[in-house]
Each structure stands twice: as structure tokens, then as C-alpha cells.
Structure 1
Amino acid sequence: MNHDLARLARLLGAPTGARPKDWPAVARRLGTELPWDYREFIDTIGGGHLDDHLYVLEPDCANENYDLADNIEERAEALEYLWDGSEDPPAQLDEPGARLIAWASTDNGEFLYWLARPGQHPDDWTVMVNEARGDWWEHFDLGFAEFLLSTLAGNVRSEIIAYAFPRDPHSFRPLHGGG
């Protein structure tokens, strides 16, 4: 386990030893590889509920509400519907081929995404947060593990989810059933 993931596991008091995923099968289903630190987090800790507010989604989760692929598909359809109607996409998507890939949700309906730009390696994807039922977006020039660590440590603050995340003390509840 790398240093950042070990720190995350300690901060969250999370158990380790989740069932590793078949990442080539996940990549085939999604049509893309995923960031290494996310894959390592899922293989080591698993998807879960952080600080009683943030759900890190997991591939092949038995509970479809927290299944990564189901959420990616559902969010892509929902955003397309919104952007074809009344809302404008965030400016970061002005680059042709840029897209958002959901990786977490909150109890209130906010979503966290990777901003995937064309030709960019997944390990270089950054994080975007979208408010529930609105068009407010935040962009963080951080990857998955760095965003979680920085947020949990209080070094980075999302105005969208800050009222409920992070909490002290930190907590982690596995999603169970999906790995």
C-alpha cells in the first residue's frame, strides 16, 4: 500500500483487506482505465461511507446505489439531460472530448467526479464537485487520494460539501457486499 493510502486508512480507521477487483473487466465495462490510487484504495479498503456523509463508489457493488458503473452511467445521462435543457456545463468541459466520471456521492445528492481530458492518463485526472440539484461546480487540481487526504486533513475545503464533510473524528463504514 502506498503512503497516501496508508495515511487514508489510518485517518479513517478503515479496515484493510478488501477483495481485489478485476480491473481489466472494469476498464472494459467503463471504456477506460481508472486512476491507480482509486484502484488501490478499492482493493485495499473498499468502497465505503466516509465521515457519515461521503460514499466512495465501488465497481461491482452489490448495492446498485453505490455501484461505480451504474452511477457513472446514471450521472452521464442526468448531466446530458440538464445540459440539453436549462443548465450549462462547467467551463472545464469546453475542451472537446473532456468528460466527467462519477466516483463519489453524498447523503445530500452532491457528486464528485474525475475530470478526464482527452489524451490524459487517468492518474492525472482532477476532481470536480457538483452541488445537488444545481449548477454550482468546484474544480480541484488534485487526484483522488490527494483530494481525500487534503480534505480530511482540513488543507482543502469544498464549499459545496463543507457543512457536513469532513467530520471529527473521522469514520469509515464499508459498503459490504461488493468487495
Structure 2
Amino acid sequence: MSIQTIIKLVPPPEKPKGLRKNRRWDRVEEKIGNELPADYKIFIETYGSGLFAGFIRIFNPFDSSEYISLLRMSTTVVDIYQDIIKSYGDVGFPFVFFPMEKGLLPCGNDENGNHLFWLTGTDSEKWKIVVLERGAPNWQLFDMGLTDFLANALTKKIRCKIWPSDYPGNRKSFTFECF
């Protein structure tokens, strides 16, 4: 499935925004301290920065915006959720945050303020997706990578219980709005 299915559902922009000419994935991965999944890299190279399917933003390591930059948001979002989880006390939240081993690393958000994370591990090609609800430690784990998650959500093969019950609706195609 993955990127080819996504391209059919959500046509990419002719000129993706937020991509530097001299972008270096090796430098991003050095700063993150880990290799990033190949499907994520292809997604960013294909779409750049923008609103995917009218609802989702995927953080872009090459975008200068503090609200889209993978490197900036990885710290900001983790800090927010660590504070939320501390305020709730022991609610059985089963995750730790990156850079801890098998920690959650933010990779995007949605229009409702919920966040998408990778559940990291030693092999980035096996990272899973976790969606955390804004303002609460409610979560849902998806045993698939980012592009499979997006394709399956848009084709209704999976349902994210944290998203509105009517998303993605009955549409057969979606748009990508560049920032």
C-alpha cells in the first residue's frame, strides 16, 4: 500500500513547500539520533509541508516554521505530553518518550490538536504509529508505519477513535494544501 495509494488518494503538489535545496537527511538523523523511516522520507520529499487530506500535518525536518519542524516539534510536543501525564498521575500510560528506548517521537498532528507519534525501536522500518489525544493521556496504537497508517485511515480500513467519528467521510479523493 503506502505511498502509491496515498498519491492516488491525495494528489501531491507540483512544487512541495518547506524543502530546502540542499536538504540532508543524514544531518537530520544525526540531530534526532536515529535513522528515520524510509516511507516518511518519501512522504516529505513528495508532499513537503501542508495540510494532508484536510486534517493532518506531518512534521517536516526541513521546514523553518517552529510549528511544522520535526526537530523543534519533537521537543515541544514531548514536553507538553510529559506534563499532561504527570498531572494525571498513574493512569497506566504504557509509553515513554523519545529519546528513551522504545520512546514516542512526534511525527505530526491534526486539526483538533491531537498528535501522531512513532513508537520507536531499533529498526525504524518497524516503527508503529500512536495517536495521542490533546490534553489527555488517551491513545491508540496502530501496528503499521506512517504511510500505511495514512492510507488505511483514508480508505477506512482502520478507524482512529481519537479523530472525529465522521472523518474521513465518504470521499474517494482528498486535497493537500501547501503552507
Cα pair 1:115 1:127 within 8 Å, conserved: yes
Q: Secondary structure at the match of 1:49?
A: strand
Runs of 4+ in 1 over 3 A off after TM superposition: 16-21, 162-165
Q: What is the aligned partner in structure 1 of residue 125 from structure 2? A: 123
Distance 2:83 2:134 in 1: 15
Whichever residue aligns with residue 128 of structure 1, its letter is V
Q: Deviations over 1:101-123 (max 9, x none)?
A: 11110111100000013xx2111
1:82–1:67 distance in 2 versus 1, CA, 3 Å: same
Instruction: Give the match's secondary structure for 2:26.
Output: helix
Tell me the distance in 1 between the aligned counterparts of 2:92 and 2:42. 30
Q: How many residue pairs end up in the alignment?
A: 170
Gaps of 5+ in 1: none
1:103 is matched with which residue? 107
In structure 2, stretches of 5+ residues that fail to align are none
Alignment-derived partner of residue 38 in structure 1? 40
Which letter does structure 2 place at the counterpart of 1:131?
A: E
Counterparts of 1:16 and 1:54, CA distance in 2: 19
Q: 2:7 matched to 1:9? A: yes
Cα root mean square deviation, aligned:
2.2
2: CA distance between counterparts of 1:134 and 1:159? 14
Identity of aligned residues (%): 22
Q: Is the 8 A contact 2:115 2:134 kept in 1?
A: yes
Judged with a 3 Å threshold, the aligned counterparts in structure 2 of structure 1 residues 143 and 16 are, in CA distance, closer, same or farther, namely farther
CA-CA distance at 1:86 after TM superposition: 2.3
Letter matched to residue 50 of structure 2: G
Give TM-score scaled by structure 1 length. Answer: 0.84
* Superposition map of 1:25-104 within 5 A: 25-87=27-89, 88=91, 90-93=93-96, 97-104=101-108
Q: Distance in 1 between matches of 2:51 and 2:85?
A: 29
